[in-house]
Amino acid sequence: MTDGIILIDKPAEMTSFGVVARLRRLLSEQQGKKVKVGHTGTLDPFATGLMIIVVGKECKNAELYSKKDKVYEATIRLGQSSTTGDPEGEIIDDINAKVPPTNDEVKGVLAKFTGAITQRPPIYSAIKIDGQRAYKLAREGKMPEMPERRITIHSLELVDYTYPELKIRTHVSSGTYIRTLAEDIGRSLGTCAYCTELRRTAIGEWKIEDAQTLQEFGVLNP
């Protein structure tokens, strides 16, 4: 391939840049020249699922793909928080945890998050603050104030709930952080929470069913 897109099912414990680097190396070796490769939106290292990789001249259209709606499946653990909002951070128990919320209470809270809402992105994110990535500032001990943004949650479905874990499926606008959504859900239930598993299953009209793993695409020892 010289120009176009590649749909990749990203494995856990790999950065989005790592996916791009492996594909760039493979395509450059195949074509005997350096090939321009990029991605259209960061997927957290702990997360899995769909990434749209742009190749060659299609790189100029990366932003068009990044603005598409996304669909995610996530597992949220109630009664604990994480410094990063995911399993990679320091896990802290909620010493003030109350009686586990009922199924109806969980559904009621999820309903409140559907529609246009305001969300404050996590500090551990790729958002730039004064020209620097927020996560880099956080690692240096600096805690920048993250600006709120308007997002839209088109749908938010409870897939399963057995305390302390609940599983959701959600269709959201571009720029929505599921880690933040998980924390906000926990807070609304009178406790804390963090996202333990996250999988992106769709970006616009592109589906995870049409994606390949790195191995299937030809990347050896990814």
Catalytic residues: 44
| Nearest-angstrom CA–CA distance, 47 and 96 | 29
111/34 Cα distance (integer angstroms)? 49
Distance of CA 28 to the CA centre of its chain: 28
Q: Is the dihedral of CA 7, 12, 101, 192 positive or negative?
A: negative
Q: How far is CA 156 from its chain centroid?
A: 15
